[in-house]
């Protein structure tokens, strides 16, 4: 039996598989070693999963997560998982999850458009090239946090349509001062910004919203995908933003003469197939 976990800033999806079949699934809070220490991660795991998970005979845990991009942060998550499950653990980044989930054992370019954004060239076994994401302050173009940041900046500077800004404040029971506080003083501002991006979902018919999201996607293409040999490989997208705004994403793909091989919300189904086929051994 294997335990596969895919974690972002908002939630973690856990799946127990045996012989390639799902035995049990669970969802808990997001885990990110960039924002949480070992003790906080361990506590979240323990409280977020039912007790029976910790009594299963698990052969190996494969954890894929945001923030797991250095050995130090991987080891933080690994130590937390080992302390709770007492079983071998492999920790990889969410970019590796996207590559394996989207491409399996075939070469291709995998892109993440979620709370954050990322992209890489994958040779069927490992990532061979990527563009530094730079995080939600310096990068993450096309992501939920970037879209939310663009919108909130326009709202606060009175550049967004007045009616849309009013609807945002009213619907979220907030005001300009509370927005500033949430971004600059509260924990996980990237998550707050990303949640704001989905306020725009029912308003994509508004020319302002359409252009804001499309321009963010264009920025992702120009500053990330264009640095990879995208004309020579299939390109796939993963993430809640990619899936929610797939129509607008396809518009920008067409501008770059790209036909995506896939646009999916999560890499979990692909990871189940990947590990079920034993493309990687513990």
Q: What is the DSSP string of 169-238?
A: HHHTT--HHHHHHHHHTSS-HHHHHHHHHGGGGGGTTSHHHHHHHHHHHHHHHHHTGGGS-TTSS-EEEE
Q: What is the mean pLDDT of residues 152-178?
A: 94
**Residue 278 pLDDT level (bands cut at 50, 70, 90):** low
Phi and psi based region of residue 181 (left: phi greater than 0; alpha: psi -120 to 50; beta: remaining) = alpha
pLDDT (0 to 100) of residue 282: 45
Average pLDDT over the chain, rounded to an integer: 90
pTM: 0.85
Domains of the chain (ranges; CATH) run: 2-98+268-276 (3.30.420.40)
Q: How much is the average pLDDT of 141-163?
A: 94
Mark residue 239 as left, alpha or beta (left: phi above 0; alpha: psi -120 to 50; beta: remaining). Answer: left
Condensed to tens digits (0 to 9), the pLDDT of residues 52-110 reads 888 888 989 999 988 888 899 999 999 999 998 889 999 999 899 999 999 999 999 99
């Amino acid at each position: 039996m294997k335990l596969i976990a895919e974690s972002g800033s908002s939630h973690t999806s856990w799946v127990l598989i045996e012989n390639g079949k799902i035995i049990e699934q669970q969802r808990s809070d997001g885990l990110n070693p960039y924002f949480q220490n070992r003790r906080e991660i361990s506590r979240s795991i323990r409280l977020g999963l039912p007790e029976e998970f910790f009594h299963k005979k698990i052969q190996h845990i494969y954890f894929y997560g945001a923030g797991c991009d250095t050995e130090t942060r991987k080891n933080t998550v690994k130590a937390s998982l080992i302390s709770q499950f007492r079983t071998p653990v492999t920790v990889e980044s969410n970019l590796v999850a996207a590559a394996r989930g989207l491409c399996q054992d075939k070469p291709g370019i995998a892109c993440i458009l979620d709370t954050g954004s990322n992209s890489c060239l994958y040779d069927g076994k490992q990532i061979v090239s990527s563009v530094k994401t730079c995080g939600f302050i310096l990068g993450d173009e096309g992501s939920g946090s970037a879209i939310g940041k663009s919108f909130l900046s326009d709202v606060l500077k009175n550049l967004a349509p007045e009616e849309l800004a009013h609807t945002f404040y009213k619907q979220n029971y907030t005001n300009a001062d509370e927005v500033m506080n949430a971004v600059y003083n509260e924990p996980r501002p990237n998550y707050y910004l990303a949640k704001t991006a989905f306020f725009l979902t029912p308003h994509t018919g508004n020319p302002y919203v359409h252009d804001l999201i499309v321009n963010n996607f264009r920025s992702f293409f120009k500053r990330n995908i264009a640095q990879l040999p995208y004309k020579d490989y299939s390109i796939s997208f993963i993430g809640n933003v990619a899936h929610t705004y797939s129509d607008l994403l396809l518009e920008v793909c067409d501008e770059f003469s790209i036909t995506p091989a896939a646009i999916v919300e999560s890499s979990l189904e692909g990871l189940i197939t990947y590990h079920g086929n034993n493309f990687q051994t513990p």
